[in-house]
């Protein structure tokens, strides 16, 4: 197979997506012939800087070079986060990408996202080797505090879950359907969160702390950008930024900590197994990702891989929100199931919500429908090839797959297909990474219980 003059090979092609070009696999082949050193550094809050040394090919591969560096920077921005990108060794490409990642460029969404999160404009600048910054990283401990009476709240896109937790044991849990992603008034979100908090509080003699697991990118407890609040007008953004702290005050003056739901997923895995280097992928409304290192600490990265590139195919589906093509949310979420359904000759009622469409396909899979099972086979193959990419940015020993998409017979097939392809095509990764669904111990810890452990008393 050939893309932009680079030959690559995959033996297992997704049965419903023969056009799939896995970025990580193509990247490995591209780099085999790259001999012009370059480096990319991304700066984020508090002077933290992540550095990646790489290389590009000669001028005859100009199109492939631009594609590689652009996708590398894109992946860095959405995995690590940051507002300033330093590029060394390819000034001409840096100049082109400075326009691409601008209000007038194709990646205007990325530019706007960075401005919303860091309240600084995104810059991509070419620098000399002498001016290239050094790496400065800082992992942080997260959660694991079990003592006392705690509320754990898990804000999902389709339902909200809350647990009352006493000394690490859940004494009450509930799951309630809500509609945050289609509601403009932030008071709706606030009232729903407060109701959940008060319900859990009523099941305990007191409340010592509140922990929140929520989709989004956070600075402190403030959701700077979050799909839960996608319909809230920008002029009411300040209400959203304080929403969890304000809700906590309705319960009392107790410690409250908010964390990205992907990181809480990885934390739950660490709490249940005692082992780190866990990448957690929750395949639900979107793709939520989190990571803890071998010590169970988070890296301080944003891990928003829903918007990070996965597929280089010119035929890749466009994400409606970010307007980019071939990004993770179209491969590892309910959107992936819905995208593949027509190719599996499954007609879904357009009047159904995305969650209802997913349920239809899940029921078909549970009843042995081959078309529905092909959807899950394809997602499993997507995942195996994408692990080549993810493992080049994260040290992974365990990949924990969660979320509604991974439930039922389809979820089991997804995991088995992923492991089969890893064993056949990437035996070194198969030996290094365990890909699995949560076990019973993990389920007992649970997302909301892990969230409850976030604040330190």
DSSP 390-443: HHHHS--SEEEEESGGGSHHHHHHHHHHHHHHHHHH-HHHHHH-EEE---HHHH
User: Which one, of 287, 244, 291, lies nearest residue 265 by Cα?
Assistant: 291
Q: Supply the mean pLDDT for the chain.
A: 94
Per domain, the residue ranges of the chain are 33-126, 154-259, 265-445
For the chain, counts of helices (H) and of strands (E) = 15, 19
Residue 148 — very low, low, confident or very high, per pLDDT cuts 50/70/90?
A: very high
What would the pLDDT profile of 154-174 be if each residue is shown by its tens digit?
998 878 999 999 999 999 999
Query: Which pLDDT value is given to residue 125?
Result: 98
Least confident range from 22-31, 405-414, 422-431: namely 405-414
Q: What stretches of 44-193 adopt beta strand conformation (E)? A: 49-56, 84-88, 123-126, 140-141, 149-155, 159-166, 169-177
User: Which one, of 254, 148, 134, 258, lies nearest residue 204 by Cα?
Assistant: 148
What would the pLDDT profile of 221-257 be if each residue is shown by its tens digit?
998 888 889 899 989 988 999 999 999 999 999 999 9
User: Which one, of 28, 362, 296, lies nearest residue 140 by Cα?
Assistant: 296
Residue 7 — very low, low, confident or very high, per pLDDT cuts 50/70/90?
A: very high
Query: Which pLDDT value is given to residue 439?
Result: 72
User: 265-445 has which fold?
Assistant: Nucleotidyltransferase; domain 5 (3.30.420)
DSSP code of residue 180: G
Least confident range from 41-55, 71-85, 436-450: namely 436-450
Task: At 214, list the tokens.
Answer: 């929520």
Query: Which pLDDT value is given to residue 441?
Result: 56
The CATH number of the domain covering residues in 154-259: 3.30.420.40
Task: At 130, list the tokens.
Answer: 């002498």
Give pairs for 125-132: CB < 8 Å, separation 24+: 125/84, 125/85, 125/86, 125/87, 125/94, 125/98, 126/87, 126/88, 126/90, 126/91, 126/94, 126/95, 127/86, 127/87, 127/88, 128/88, 129/88, 129/89, 131/86, 132/39, 132/41, 132/86, 132/88
Task: At 284, list the tokens.
Answer: 């639900």
In this structure, the number of other CB atoms found within 10 A of the CB of residue 91 comes to 13
Query: Which pLDDT value is given to residue 448?
Result: 78
| DSSP helix/strand/coil, 131 | coil
In this structure, the number of other CB atoms found within 10 A of the CB of residue 367 comes to 10
- Asked if the domains 154-259 and 265-445 are classified in one and the same CATH topology, the answer is yes
Q: What's the rounded Cα separation, in Å, for the pair 97 and 432? A: 35
| Angle, CA of 82, 83 and 87, to the nearest 5° | 90
Contact present, 329 and 287 (Cβ < 8 Å): yes
| Rg of the chain over all Cα atoms, to the nearest angstrom | 22
Task: At 413, list the tokens.
Answer: 């097939």
């Amino acid at each position: 197979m050939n893309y932009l003059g680079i030959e690559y090979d995959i033996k297992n092609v997704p049965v419903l997506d023969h056009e799939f070009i896995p970025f990580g696999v193509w990247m490995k082949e591209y780099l085999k012939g790259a001999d012009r050193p370059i480096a990319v550094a991304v700066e984020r809050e508090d002077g933290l800087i992540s550095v990646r040394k790489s290389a590009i090919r000669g001028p005859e591969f100009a199109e492939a070079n631009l594609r590689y560096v652009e996708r590398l920077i894109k992946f860095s921005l959405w995995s690590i986060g940051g507002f300033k990108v330093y590029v060394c060794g390819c000034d001409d490409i840096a100049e082109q990408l400075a326009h691409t990642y601008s209000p007038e460029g194709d990646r205007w969404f990325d530019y706007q996202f960075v401005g919303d999160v860091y309240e600084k404009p995104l810059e991509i600048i070419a620098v000399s080797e002498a001016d290239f910054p050094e790496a400065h990283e800082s992992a942080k401990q997260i959660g694991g505090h079990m003592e006392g009476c705690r509320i754990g709240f898990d804000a999902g896109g389709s339902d909200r879950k809350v647990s009352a937790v006493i000394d690490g044991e859940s004494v009450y849990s509930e799951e309630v359907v809500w509609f945050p992603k289609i509601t403009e008034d932030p008071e709706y979100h606030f009232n729903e969160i407060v109701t959940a908090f008060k319900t859990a509080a009523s099941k305990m003699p007191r409340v010592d702390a509140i922990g929140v697991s929520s989709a989004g990118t956070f600075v402190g407890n403030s959701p700077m950008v979050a799909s839960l609040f996608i319909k809230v007008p920008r002029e009411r953004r300040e209400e959203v930024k304080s929403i969890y702290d304000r809700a906590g005050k309705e319960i009392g003056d107790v410690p409250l900590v908010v964390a990205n739901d992907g990181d809480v997923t990885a934390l739950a895995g660490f709490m249940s197994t005692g082992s780190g280097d866990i990448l957690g992928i929750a395949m639900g409304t979107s793709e939520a990702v989190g990571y803890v290192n071998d010590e169970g600490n988070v890296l301080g990265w944003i891990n928003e891989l829903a918007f990070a590139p996965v597929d280089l195919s010119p035929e890749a589906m466009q994400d409606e929100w970010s307007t980019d093509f071939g990004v993770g949310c179209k491969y590892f979420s309910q959107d992936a199931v819905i995208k593949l359904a027509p190719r599996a000759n499954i007609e879904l009622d357009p009047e159904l919500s995305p969650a209802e469409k997913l349920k239809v396909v899940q029921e078909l899979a549970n009843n042995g429908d081959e078309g529905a099972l092909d959807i899950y086979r394809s997602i499993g193959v997507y995942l195996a090839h994408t692990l080549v990419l993810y493992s080049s940015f994260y040290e992974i020993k365990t990949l924990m797959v969660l979320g509604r998409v991974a439930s039922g017979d389809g979820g089991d097939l997804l995991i088995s297909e992923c492991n089969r392809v890893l064993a056949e095509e990437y035996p070194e990764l198969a030996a290094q990474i365990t890909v699995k669904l949560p076990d019973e111990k993990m389920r007992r810890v649970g997302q909301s219980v892990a969230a409850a452990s976030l604040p330190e008393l």
